[in-house]
Structure 1
């Protein structure tokens, strides 16, 4: 029996059922996908614009839930990877003439490189010290980009055009918000499926074991630092993909996409949806984005209402909105 087998049998309590085989969950997932496919037909032009942005932030929240909900590593600086991916996509498309796929690939690669740099230092610490180090790194990166004129300084990189998408030998224009929406939806579903496979694998069980009892894993033959840096890079890569999609969608990359407020928002998204549930985090990202857009149309003090929503969920539904599907169990 391998060490991975030991983790699956000993470190993960048997009471945790695989929710991806539960009828209620599968029904909710199918309904979410169906609603996503029908959304452009039900929404007007502005609604599609908001929906596309909501899906992007759902992807961003998914990246954060993988890191925190699986491995228990709380990052306060996840905006560094989101914004870094946005700048990588913008530079590659505007100055290098890269294709859509290459631009997004470079967004992922740069975010992973940044994760390696910050991870090598941060994973040597635990708890709040890890969180503060990630926040400090994000703030340094934000200040650097803000004052670096070759990246547009405080204005950022403006005038980013959406390149056509090469798919099976065909050129698909992404200028339409509806087309871009479906492109983001497809990527979100694919990434979610990939993440589910990861968390259901022996590697995913090892992450859960590390979260529950990190001190035990070395005795099972695991290198916890390697596990941390691996999941940190995976999470950063997904965040970078979301950042690249966001910059291309909006037509610009700005320092604000690296700001600590973005890091705080993704934490709230994951908590509102249901930390550790994956699909719940996506749901939280979508709901908070739509909720913010609606309330901001009524008042400039919309953050007050976001705070009230967050407090309500934490007090009355601490397992997140995903908990309405029943007892929350991690997949």
Structure 2
């Protein structure tokens, strides 16, 4: 089942051509990186509207806190995994999880050690890759605010790398055409505005021995936020609870890009989790924001006024019990609000 893994940022040479939309009918597999957020949700709904058979589509969710016995809940929303599972079930699409063993917290605490293995689910079971090679290193600090994935290493190690290992670790993708779909939008940041809509994925080996053809497609890259909410409303999909609480972007609950108001809201919702983050800043001697600690940022901010106790219960539960399809669809409080995402 497992083959040799590629370097984290290895990319195949590709013809210098500009393609805005691929021939969707030409792919054997269509994989959507599903965070549970509005943009990845819009991407999968756009594929459905474009006529891609659901039998070809898979959702892949990267569990940033680890999963099962490997879980260290500190960063992500507790309800996210269950929300994604219920969403996939409702849409009739299979979902597979991947994760860095020990999660983001484990990688953050790495000290003179190899990065830990990656586990990934497949139709044939769960497998793992890595953890016994490379260079021993020490982190002992949070990922830092930057567009660069080497500095903002949480995305590289907890999302990009697990997806790559899950592709290269499955022989079912050899001699096949695979489309890997993500939900980045140009409107989100100047860096993301420069992303290509369509390009070879870093795991592409169409000219290699495996003949593994993998393209990377960003179907909502040119969309404005209104278009994203429009397609979600059209399909009557209940948005992730974080949006209803006032968050404008679904990432980790304790995302390093969080605004002062978001950190104040985290403290209001889960003071113990907030204190764990603050204590790590004290221990490392390096803050997330570089110039202010999370305690200092919260001291000058107010939590969102949309933190309804019942919604908080939903967001902080590990089981999503709300309906996925709703007839009384409403734009959530966080729509068009603070995005507080990558630069």
TM-score, normalised with respect to structure 1: 0.25
Q: Which has the higher strand share?
A: 2
Larger relative CO (CA 8 A, sep 6+): 1 or 2? 1
TM-score, normalised with respect to structure 2: 0.24
